[in-house]
Amino acid sequence: MSYKKAKHILPAELLELIQEYVDGEYIYIPRRAEHKKDWGSNTATRKELDVRDCNIYNDYLSGADTATLGEKYYLSSKSIQRILLKEKRRRIE
């Protein structure tokens, strides 16, 4: 995301109206819902995490406990538990 100068893209009347609410401040204008992208859609991170989570679940099914999995994947036991629950639910569906 990059910053755009409002005076270059907004009509003068609209800029003056906005300045009545925020004068000289930065504001964030969110994307419209129909243009919103899912987290990780621009990179392979989402896929990498899905593979990792699947591996964690398979290791758990093979007998590894949450503490061991936490050490192996550098995650807290609570994170491992969350991943295991998510993977279990995903496989049930």
Work out the number of other CB atoms within 10 angstroms of the CB of residue 69.
Answer: 21
Residue range 48-64, pLDDT digits in tens = 999 999 999 999 999 99
Q: What is the mean pLDDT of residues 61-85?
A: 96
**pLDDT confidence tier of residue 65, bands split at 50, 70 and 90:** very high
pTM for this entry: 0.61
- pLDDT score, position 3: 85
Residue range 4-49, pLDDT digits in tens = 899 999 999 999 999 999 988 888 888 888 888 877 777 888 899 9
The HSE-up count of residue 57 (CA atoms within 13 Å, CB side) is: 16
Domain residue spans of the chain: 6-92
DSSP string, 43-91: SSHHHHHHHHHHHHHHHHHTT--HHHHHHHHT--HHHHHHHHHHHHHHH
